Structure 1
């Protein structure tokens, strides 16, 4: 038979409670991180769908009815093309797309590639590469999740050497 002193029992009980508290806290943190990773994966997948099914397709076909729904109405576009500053409102950009020959109709190469997607809560940044006509564009597309939809809120482009 082991003799326990009152102080020893209290210390062991405190140690047991502290260990249980730490275990529960670590499990809760692990569950939160897992949920966050799942949410980020779902959001990245949703943005990938927007890029592949609307953005690249709309640019390739020159279809503003495909492009317009994925942009926030206040979207601004900035960058440089052949070293010249590029700044347009969404309406100016869509008007240009509507009045140019589409890459599809031009017969020239077109390829849209997703380089990366980074999601933080309700905002995201996608880096894409678009080869069209005789241009190679590196683009940064800022997204915001509004009413459970990922919308482009800013577009920055630069044409780069191949």
Structure 2
């Protein structure tokens, strides 16, 4: 009898209100375009040119970066990372190869993850960039990276 009452009580709640609406979870084409813009015109361009003003526009001020470079642990704040980009010879000025591509972008509601491959100097970086939609714009809130030997 108790089990029947519990089941009846549970069935009285609409199940659709408990699950996220799948329609809302589909990739929003406008969001993907905006994220691609941030990656290509601020992140990639800032790295390539060594332009810290452009690069800083892609990052949330308290973003963190983690990973490893040739097995050595890597941790920086966005500020440290951007300063480092500004203090090195840019790939543009070095004349060395720079090839950066977006492998994938996944978006659900106000979060997104982009998988990128950035080849520069003698590095073959794979990045996982986490975005959050903050104050009307997509911003990088986290970056993880590793260098893969060819």
The two structures have a TM-score, normalised by structure 1, of 0.76
Alpha-carbon offset, residue 120 of structure 1: 0.5
- Please say if 1:70 is aligned against 2:58: yes
> Structure 1 or 2: larger helix share?
1
Aligned partner of 1:147 among 120, 135, 138: 135
Q: What RMSD over aligned residues (CA atoms) do the two structures have, in Å?
A: 1.4
Q: Which runs of 5+ in 2 are unaligned?
A: 1-21
Ranges of 4+ aligned residues in structure 1 off by more than 3 Å:
none
Between the aligned partners of 1:55 and 1:92, the Cα distance in structure 2 is 15
Whole-Å separation in 2 of the counterparts to 1:109 and 1:36: 38
SS in 1 for 2:96: coil
SS at match of 2:88: coil
1:11-160 matched pairs, under 5 angstroms: 33=23, 37=26, 40-160=28-148
Shift of 1:147: 1.3
Structure 1 unmatched runs, 5+: 1-31
**Greater Rg by CA:** 1
What per-residue deviation string (whole Å, max 9, x for no partner) do you get for residues 74-120 of structure 1? Answer: 10000001110000011111111111000001111001100000000
Q: Shift in Å at residue 36 of structure 1?
A: 6.0
Deviation at 1:144, TM superposition (A): 0.1
